Chain A
């Protein structure tokens, strides 16, 4: 995978098969940089047993884990 964020964006865009309209690339590249920051902030270092939210029962989800 490319190191520079611009290169990484270009590689992923191609892999995803996205056909960008004229002028769209610059906007999306800026959004892509913000997205990478969000992904880093959310992180990926979770215990094996860390459950995702079961969003269709928000309150029960808490009660079950008490």
Chain B
């Protein structure tokens, strides 16, 4: 990776070159725009490009940096935002016919923080309709495709975010995660995807799906890049009632060492061997990863968590109920304007009674406590992100999670930080995944483990064959 391939630089690499004035933000933006022009008709990662605004911002960044006013590692870095992140003066349509022409007056808090850090917005990225609709063909926006094989699904709901970062169409992208929608596209597109602790990153100005399960976070090429982005967006926001007023540590400081001696990892084997057995390639890659982590000094043992189905049933009732509450008015007045998948997946929430929802929240607290108790003596949980690599686009169907449950929703329910990272490739070249789950507000340990693993493996040397 050199400055001659600017679209394949990590955020950290590009930031270093920009700070040394060896890479021009203007040239970097131009390189991304040219690549988007070449590939977006195939991948459908972007729904809206902002070339003039991006070039103007790049010229401004270049002038600031030349004048000695370098803001930090995101200054001059081109990014994309899932199209549920509000952007002042720029349409934010949530992948839905219902929101066509919706132009927010203000930026989401995360949008504002990224701009303040000097990041340059290239455009808005494809999302499943309202972050729930699935891979749909009946909305105004074609579904994004997987850069590792455009016939395959990139996963969602942050589908464009996963496709764009993997394909080198932006240096990093923001996604949202209610049941896995950051980690899932990260897994199927071979990226790092970080769902921070609930309350760590503001949700203000991001279209809601499920108030108590929604999380915002980055999809990046490397774990180090995720740490850089988290540094810029973490912290208390009075505009988000769920925002936590907790100190924000130096996340990159946690990455200086690959020594994992003293780190205790718990393998949640019951989830991916008993509750929903993972595919052979995923399981083999997982066991290899465990040996790598042991080799780095980590102590590894088994951890017993409650059944996956119980976490998923509880999260499902909450998501459906909260999602229906948000959409009830428009579902009743304009049902024909939703895509069929989003309409059905939101409407079913009408059938969740108030007492069902309260029981789910009671069960939720029990599961939070049980997970916390199981983690006694461990720093993090280790398991795959999902059981299989990416299927052919359109194969998922509306109720895929009932047939092959993923391993992500438990940690939306508990609110713990969870990182998905690339764990090699199967025989056909599709990415496999590894998930690291930490204690509340301990993103630093999760990032430390992920970064150490990434540095010890060759998976970042391969890019999609585009």
Contacts and interface: CB of A to CB of B under 8 A. Distances in A.
B413 to A, nearest CB: 8
Nearest to A44: B359
Contact of A53 (B355, B364, B398, B402): B364
A54 B199 CA distance: 13
Nearest to A50: B362
B332 to A, nearest CB: 8
B310 A41 contact: yes
Contact of B362 (A23, A37, A52, A55): A52
Interface in A47-61: 50-59, 61
A53 B368 contact: yes
Nearest to B356: A39
Given A19-B335, A30-B399, A35-B351, A58 B344 contact: no
Number of contact residues on B: which range applies? 35 or more
Interface string A26-47: 0110111011011101111010
Given A42-B313, A55-B242, A58-B197, A34 B356 contact: no
Given A24-B344, A65-B369, A41 B309 contact: yes
A55 B348 contact: no
Interface stretch (B44-52, B72-80, B186-194, B314-322): B314-322
Q: Which of A17, A42, A44, A52 is the most central at the interface, judged by chain B CB atoms within 10 Å of its CB?
A: A42
Contact of A35 (B198, B242, B348): B348
Q: Which of B199, B365, B369 is the most central at the interface, judged by chain A CB atoms within 10 Å of its CB?
A: B365
Given A18-B350, A53-B368, A55-B415, A34 B402 contact: yes
A38 B313 CA distance: 5
B212 to A, nearest CB: 4
A56 B199 contact: yes
Interface residues of A, number: 38
Secondary structure type dominating chain A contacts: helix
A6 interface: no
Contacts of B359: 39, 42-44, 46
B417 to A, nearest CB: 11
Given A21-B335, A32-B348, A35-B351, A52 B199 contact: no
B360 A28 contact: no
Contacts of B314: 38, 42
B415 A52 contact: no
Contacts of A28: 344, 347-348
Contacts of A54: 365
A54 B368 CA distance: 11
B116 interface: no
A7 interface: no
A59 B30 CA distance: 44
A51 B310 contact: no
Contacts of A39: 313, 317, 352, 356, 359
Contacts of B335: 19, 21
B317 A61 contact: no
A2 interface: no
B441 interface: yes
A41 B198 CA distance: 25
A62 interface: yes
B197 A38 contact: no
Interface in B144-197: 197
A24 B340 contact: yes
B198 A58 contact: yes
B348 A31 contact: yes
B335 to A, nearest CB: 6
A9 B314 CA distance: 21
A1 interface: no
The 9 closest A-B pairs by CB, nearest first: A52-B361, A58-B415, A38-B313, A55-B212, A53-B365, A53-B364, A59-B440, A41-B313, A31-B348
Interface of B: 197-199, 212, 241-242, 244, 309-310, 312-314, 316-317, 320, 332, 335-336, 340, 343-345, 347-348, 350-352, 355-356, 358-366, 368-369, 372, 398-399, 402, 414-415, 440-441
Given A18-B350, A51-B365, A57-B199, 20 more contacts: A12-B351, A21-B335, A23-B340, A24-B340, A24-B347, A34-B402, A35-B348, A37-B313, A39-B356, A41-B309, A42-B310, A42-B314, A42-B359, A50-B365, A52-B362, A53-B368, A55-B242, A58-B199, A62-B368, A62-B369
